[in-house]
């Protein structure tokens, strides 16, 4: 078995340190330099010849984070690493997974091609926006599930009349999986958009009266959809409403929207490090989940035990 080494890009330093610690390793020594014009230049400060290298980097905007990951992969391959696994807690551009209108890019596929062409041997990620993105890669991909983080937390709340809700039709399967696990009902908030990040109308399909509603999503961007859905279910007579989402993108007026919403709390993970604090946002770590997945991959054992 080759030696395992874990390194981090600039965008996931805090999470990578926790992943390495949970795995039982010290985070590897990597320098990420910038020329005065902004060009990136990663370099490994220790030998990785013959090693299985895990590079932790979420590809949130700006695009420097994606380019940095690709250059790290290239540097590792040229330094004679045995295998290079790109650990991408949050896979950016995943919302652009199809041609939903004429003459647009399928960005998720283009990004998959870039990472593969850079030389990655394996991908490890969590809660892709659409499961079919796994098929965009022609290399092994380990798709971890955030339910392993959220289910224990939801159990600890001991809510008497819990019900799950999807903030849009596209997330029905995700909400249904939670409802099935807890053996409760689910509802759907059907929305119509005029354009990206702008909701034209929304309606609740199902009965939420007297219930403790849990909104389930894979990511929160401006939080407009979540806050609107939360408002709608409370108007329909819900007892309380909170939300869980794996990736806290939280751009634009997201923090303001959440603070002013009827949400009791928004629970996210540290796949993306929060830009600021909020009394309504709780952050759970995925470090142990990724550390266990790395153990399974390097030990050639199944990762199915990590799924709930």
Query: Which helix or strand (DSSP H or E) is residue 144 part of?
Result: strand 141-144
Give the chain's count of helices (H) and strands (E).
8, 14
Q: What is the rounded CA–CA span in Å between residue 144 and residue 158?
A: 25
Query: Which helix or strand (DSSP H or E) is residue 55 part of?
Result: strand 52-56
Q: Please, what's the largest Cα pairwise distance for the chain?
A: 61
The single residue of 191, 194, 228, 275 carrying the catalytic annotation is: 191
Q: What is the rounded CA–CA span in Å between residue 105 and residue 248?
A: 24
DSSP secondary structure, 218-256, as one string? EEESSSHHHHHHHHHHHHTT-SEEEEEEEEE---TTHHH
Q: What is the rounded CA–CA span in Å between residue 275 and residue 249?
A: 9
Scored b (16 or more CB within 10 A) or e, 218-241 reads bbbbbbbbbbbbbebbbebebbbb
* 254: CB partners within 8 A, 6+ apart: 220, 221, 222, 223
- Is-catalytic flag, 292? no
The owner of tokens 């709340």 is: 157
Q: Looking at the annotation, which residues are catalytic?
A: 191
């Amino acid at each position: 078995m080759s030696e395992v080494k874990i390194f981090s890009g600039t965008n996931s330093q805090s999470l990578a340190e926790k992943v390495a610690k949970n795995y039982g390793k010290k985070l590897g020594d990597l320098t990420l330099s910038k020329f005065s014009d902004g060009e990136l230049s990663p370099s490994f400060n220790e030998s990785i010849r013959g090693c299985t290298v895990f590079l932790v980097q979420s590809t949130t905007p700006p695009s420097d984070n994606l380019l940095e990951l690709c250059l790290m992969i290239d540097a590792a391959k040229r330094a004679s690493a045995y295998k290079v696994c790109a650990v991408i807690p949050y896979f950016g551009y995943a919302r652009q997974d199809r041609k939903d209108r004429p003459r647009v890019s399928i960005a998720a596929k283009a990004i998959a091609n870039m990472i593969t062409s850079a030389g990655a041997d394996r991908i490890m990620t969590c809660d892709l926006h659409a499961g079919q993105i796994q098929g965009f890669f022609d290399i092994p991909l380990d798709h971890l599930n955030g339910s392993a983080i959220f289910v224990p937390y939801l159990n600890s709340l001991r809510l008497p009349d819990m019900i799950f809700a999807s903030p849009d039709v596209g997330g029905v399967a995700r909400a249904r999986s939670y409802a099935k696990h807890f053996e409760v009902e689910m509802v759907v908030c059907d929305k119509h958009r005029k354009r990206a990040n702008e909701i034209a109308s929304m309606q609740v399909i199902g009965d939420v009266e007297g219930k403790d509603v849990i909104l389930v999503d894979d990511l929160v961007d401006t939080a407009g959809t979540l806050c609107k859905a939360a408002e709608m279910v409370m108007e329909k007579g819900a007892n309380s409403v909170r939300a869980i989402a794996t990736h806290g993108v939280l751009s634009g007026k997201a923090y303001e929207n959440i603070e002013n919403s009827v949400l009791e709390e928004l629970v996210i993970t540290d796949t993306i490090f929060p830009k600021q604090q909020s009394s309504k946002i709780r952050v759970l770590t995925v470090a142990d989940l990724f550390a266990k997945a790395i153990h399974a991959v390097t030990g050639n054992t199944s990762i199915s035990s990590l799924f709930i």
